[in-house]
Amino acid sequence: MSFQRISCAKAKDLFDNPALKVADIRDPGSYAQGHVRGAVRVDNDNVQDFMQSAPKDAPLLVCCYHGNSSQGAAGFFASQGYSEVYSLDGGYEMWKMAAPELCER
């Protein structure tokens, strides 16, 4: 199992799929200031709950600050049996410029 790195432009296409899940692994303050629409903030405290609620056959987009930490998290989710995992290149910092219409607070 592995994951794919994905550009913001390609990630926007994922939002056509209503089954898409978005995991934001940033800190609570950064998440509160803004995040990808529909994202769930995931950390060590709630990752098990997230995995119980996120179907393993649904696309999963993992987002961090700049697209570095999300690669490790995407690898983790892929190793847990998620079949379609993406790491957002450029992270939320790039996303908020590339897709402001898909951001929320």
Active-site residues, by number, are 64
> Residue 66 in 3-state DSSP?
coil
How far is residue 46's CA from residue 100's CA, in Å, rounded to a whole number? 27
49, with CB counted inside 10 A (0-12, 13-18, 19+), is exposed
